[in-house]
Amino acid sequence: MPLFQKAAFSTTVADLRDLPTDSQCEVAFAGRSNAGKSSAINTLANHTRLAFVSKTPGRTQHLNYFQLEQGKYFVDLPGYGFAKAPEEIRSQWEGLLAPYLRYREALRGLILIMDSRHPLTELDLQMLDWFAVTGKPIHVLLTKADKLTRQQQAVTLQEVKAVLAEIGGNCTQQLFSSLQKSGVREAEAVLGEWLGLEITEERLPPTGLASEKTARPKKRSAIGWSARRSGKAH
């Protein structure tokens, strides 16, 4: 049985004062709009429409809580990257997201969703830099891996790994496909550990993806993320 099979929508939080008080452990999901965040949450919960609750009117700019079991939650954060007024972005970030990400004690780690064809955008890098200082772990899900060849998958994984190593902190990464349901086992292992959930072999589906060992590229291609990073303003 998938680890998060019992996930159910719990509440939408627009104000820090309304954060659930019974949460002992929670994991937040962030990423650019359209990167595949809702699909990834649905895949992990083995539920086709669960996270689309977050896309309904009145909920898209807030924190959407999904209860996994008593006191344990996934928290779906607003997708970033769509053109919004700067004032709107600032007030959402300062009023809700920044204090939530920095001070929420129950928050165990951040799952950062990136489209594997366009990973590490400027906003992704800003989020990584900003969250890494909390000392809490970040796990990057490189989604839509089914759109890449095996070789492109391996190269992308290595490139992202190199950039994350530069950022420092506690960052890991993996390939993921909601379409093929691949990478689920690896993600469940990370989430299960963060959330203190017991994972038994019978509960884990196969990953269906090449491991780093079997699919290591011969040489790194010059995608230039590192160069872009070093040139960016903080």
Residues at the site binding ligand GDP, with contacts judged by CB under 6 A: 31, 33-39, 79, 143-144, 146-147, 177-179
Strand order in the sheet with 171-175: 8-13, 63-69, 72-76, 25-31, 107-115, 138-143, 171-175
Cα–Cα dist 190/197, whole Å: 10
Minimal distance, residue 177 CB to ligand GDP, in Å = 4
Q: How far, in Å, CA of 54 to CA of 37, rounded?
A: 10
* Least spacing, CB of residue 40 vs ligand GDP, in Å: 7
Residue 34 or 170: the one with the smaller Cβ distance to ligand GDP is: 34
Q: How far is the CB of 186 from ligand GDP (least distance, A)?
A: 14
Q: How many angstroms separate the CA atoms of 73 and 111, rounded? A: 13
The residue (of 206 and 231) whose beta carbon lies closer to ligand GDP is 206
CB contact at 8 A, 72 and 10: no
Smallest distance from ligand GDP to CB 34, Å: 4
What whole-number distance in Å separates Cα of residue 44 and Cα of residue 28? 13
Report the C-alpha gap between 28 and 48 in whole angstroms.
19
User: Residue 103, Cβ neighbours under 10 Å: how many?
Assistant: 10
| Residue closer to ligand GDP, measured from CB, 23 or 178 | 178
Q: What is d(CA 138, CA 108) in angstroms, rounded to the nearest whole number?
A: 9
Residue 152 or residue 226: which is nearer to ligand GDP going by CB? 152
Shortest distance (Å) from residue 117 CB to ligand GDP = 10
Specify the residue, 60 or 158, whose C-beta has the smaller distance to ligand GDP.
60
- Give 69 or 114: the residue with its C-beta nearer to ligand GDP: 114
CB of 184 to ligand GDP, least distance (A): 11
| Burial (Cβ within 10 Å: 0-12, 13-18, ≥19) of residue 112 | buried
